[in-house]
Amino acid sequence: MLINKKKRIQYLGFNDFWFIVIGILVLSFITDLLFNNSFSSYPFETAVITWGVSLFFTICDWFTIRAVIILLRKKYPDFNDDSKRVMLLFFAIISIVILVDLLGNKLVSYIFDQDRSPISNFRVLIPIIIISMMTMAIYEAVYYNIRLKKSIREEEQAKRIIVQAQLDTLRNQAQPHFLFNTLNTLRDIIDQNSKEEAKQFVDKLSDVYRFILESGNTNLTVLRDELKFAKAYIHIQSERFGDNLKLNWNIQETSLEAMIVPMSLQLLLENAIKHNVISKAKPLIINVEVKGNHLLVDNKIQSKSTQIPSTKVGLKNIEKRYTLISGKSITIKNDGNRFVVSLPLLKLSDQKNNYANTDH
């Protein structure tokens, strides 16, 4: 376990090689200083031998306790087992220090042919036990911190997966919604116009769907691309409504690199077309402009006498995606005369940290 770096990191949370080397040397000198003060009390050679005995005991204590730590972490790896594991480690340290002292003193007595009674050194054991616990507490603190960071990281990844699923659902929801409405438009064109015009409509529709396929899997898109898509959509709708549908575009060049949620502008235009009368007597005029850090879509309310059943997708879809991605909200104003929706213009840095990497 000492040689295998990968296993040291796996069970201890960090590569403890230098911690062991420095820790053992420091603790052996501290132990010798506290109980023998060998280098002040004895000749140098005797002092080195006496310190060597302290070093021997420190090595035995350290590696035995360390092995128990690894064993306990293998057996009780979960956060729920922390109390049990620490309690067992506490008793293990006491037992190991006493056992090492008992066996070590017998070995030292045999080697140096001296009587070293473990009981006479009992006063030494309590401080050694305390020092050992303090040292091993560093292992536990590092281990706890590493596992806590890992747990937080896994929780963030789980959140990211959940949000990705939610965004995928919303994106997949918006696209059939668009298809549903464009098919209704195609049906009206077939009823009212020639087959040739219907064919042209289908060709343009295929161009629009190419854009959806290319950009539909991203959380944010630049306003320039969204405008291109929205204008293609309006071009399709013009096949049905002609000059009765008018768009006023007031977008500064400096705003074109700002970002918005994909298909959000198109859904707002679709919403306006769907719920308002569009005729020669009452043309629908939609204003699209940038004010400050918001894209505004504004139209006069021209409610239809017979309301088309709503799928309740458009505005809710945009609201949910803005909230999930950036935490920012869209603003909806309806004073009975005009309907205005304000979309925040975003940057890549506006994405929530948890969700910034959810693009496919």
359: pLDDT strictly greater than 50: no
How far from 317 is each of 167, 183, 261, 293, CA to CA, in Å?
Answer: 10, 20, 10, 21
Give the residues across from 298 on adjacent strands: 287, 340
92: pLDDT strictly greater than 70: yes
Condensed to tens digits (0 to 9), the pLDDT of residues 270-300 reads: 889 888 999 999 999 999 999 989 999 999 9
Rounded to whole angstroms, the Cα distance separating 98 from 121 reads 10
Condensed to tens digits (0 to 9), the pLDDT of residues 135-164 reads: 888 888 888 888 888 878 777 765 665 555
Condensed to tens digits (0 to 9), the pLDDT of residues 202-211 reads: 776 776 777 6
Mean pLDDT check: name the lowest of 45-59, 248-262, 306-320. Answer: 306-320
231: pLDDT strictly greater than 80: yes
246-258: b (≥16 Cβ within 10 Å) or e: ebeeeeeeebeeb
- Tokens for 58? 């420190």
The residue ranking higher by pLDDT, 235 or 162, is 235
Condensed to tens digits (0 to 9), the pLDDT of residues 11-44 reads: 787 888 888 888 889 888 888 887 778 888 888 8
Q: Per-residue confidence at 130, pLDDT binned at 50, 70, 90?
A: confident
119: pLDDT strictly greater than 50: no
Condensed to tens digits (0 to 9), the pLDDT of residues 212-222 reads: 676 656 778 89
Q: What percent of the chain has pLDDT over 70?
A: 76
Instruction: Count CB atoms within 10 A of the CB of residue 55.
Output: 18
* pTM, to two decimals: 0.52
